[in-house]
Structure 1
Amino acid sequence: MMFLDQAKIHLRSGWGGDGCVSFRREKFLEFGGPDGGDGGKGGDIVFEAVPGLNTLIDFRYRQHFRAERGHHGMGANRTGAGGADLVIPVPVGTQILADDAARTLLADLTAPGQRVVLLRGGDGGKGNAHFRSSTNRAPRQFQKGFPGQELSVWLRLKLLADVGLVGLPNAGKSSLLNAITRAKARVGDYAFTTLKPQLGVAAHRGREVVVADIPGLIEGAAEGAGIGDRFLGHIERCRLLLHLVDATGPSPVGAWRTVRAELAAYGAGLAEKPEILLLTKADAADARRLGQARRNLARAAGQEPLVISSATGAGLEAMLDRVIEGLGPPAANVRTAEAADARTEGGWTPL
Structure 2
Amino acid sequence: MLSLVVPVFNEADGIREFIFAVDKAMSASWPEPQIAPRLEIIFVDDGSSDGTSTIVRTLRKGDARIKLLTLSRNFGKEAALSAGLDAATGDAAIPMDVDLQDPPEVIRPMVEKWLGGAKVVNARRCDRSADTMFKRSTSRLFYRTINMVADHKIADDVGDFRLLDRDAIEVLKQMTEHTRFNKGLFSWIGFTTETVEYVRPEREVGTSKWRTLKLLNLALDGIVSSTTLPLRIWTIIGALISLGAVAYAGFLLVYTLTQGADVPGYASIMITVLMLGGLNLLSLGLIGEYLGRVAIQVRGRPLYVVESREGF
Shorter chain as normaliser: what TM range? under 0.3
Query: Larger radius of gyration, structure 1 or 2?
Result: 1
RCO higher in 1 or 2 (8 Å CA, sep ≥ 6)?
Answer: 2
- The alignment's TM-score, normalised by the length of structure 1, stands at 0.25
Q: Which has the higher strand share?
A: 1
- The alignment's TM-score, normalised by the length of structure 2, stands at 0.27
